Structure 1
Amino acid sequence: MSNRRSRSRQLVGVNNGIRDDEIQDLVSKLQQLLPQLQTTPSSNKVSATRVLQEACNYIRSLHREVDGLSERLCELLQTTTNDDTSQEAVLIIRTLLMQSTNLNR
């Protein structure tokens, strides 16, 4: 049975054009980017499933942080002076924020 599983894994890799060792390398690189898993000693192997779950959680937290910072920036922009240059800058920044918010959704 394990031989069948091993063969099916190899076939999946062949069909997708990516080998198991390439997947493991990519998962390892992804793990290095995740603050939650950087403290894990390299001798402790972390499953690919956990790395992917942590990556999803980290991306969600980054989205929340961006949303919070965007709201804070909007609040700060509302308190700027009323001269023409400031108003023009505020409009440009608001437009950029709206575009980035729409791209993230």
Structure 2
Amino acid sequence: MSSQRSTSSNKITDDELNALILRLQTLLPQLDQSRHGRVSAAKVLNEICSYIRRLQNEVDGLSGRLSQCLDSMDLTGFDAEIVRDLLQQ
């Protein structure tokens, strides 16, 4: 019985869900509420997923380009360690 109480207390309310969707919507300029009015939650979530995929592809592309640049450079062990430290920040 206590597990039922803990799961029900973790449920998100409709108001909380709506607030989260509106916050996500503000991250996407193409779904700016002031221009388009109310946008469905499904559309917001779909656009957010697409946006995240685009960002991931961009990160992958930039990582590949950075690897190529680093491979073409003649770095000493110390220089390579400095570059790694900078990239991890």
Q: Verify same fold: TM over 0.5.
A: yes
Residues 51-103 of structure 1 deviation map (CA, whole Å, 9 limit, x = unaligned): 0000000010011000000001001101222433224346x37xx6xxxxxxx
Instruction: From the superposition, tell whether residues 45 and 86 of structure 1 become closer, same or farther in structure 2 (CA, over 3 Å).
Output: same
1:83 corresponds in structure 2 to 76
Displacement over 4 Å in runs of 4+: none
2:5 corresponds in structure 1 to none
Given the two structures, how large is their TM-score scaled by the length of structure 1? 0.62
Instruction: From the superposition, tell whether residues 78 and 45 of structure 1 become closer, same or farther in structure 2 (CA, over 3 Å).
Output: same
Structure 1 gap ranges (5+):
1-14, 97-105
Q: Distance in 2 between matches of 1:78 and 1:60?
A: 27
Instruction: From the superposition, tell whether residues 18 and 79 of structure 1 become closer, same or farther in structure 2 (CA, over 3 Å).
Output: same
1:50 matched to 2:43? The reply is yes
Given the two structures, how large is their TM-score scaled by the length of structure 2? 0.72
1:60 corresponds in structure 2 to 53
Once the two structures are aligned, what percentage of the paired residues are identical?
45
- Of the three residues 29, 32, 46, the one matched with 2:26 is 32
Structure 2 gap ranges (5+):
1-7
Q: How many residues align?
A: 79
Query: What's the RMSD between the two structures over aligned residues?
Result: 2.4
Q: Distance in 2 between matches of 1:83 and 1:17?
A: 54
1:74 matched to 2:67? The reply is yes
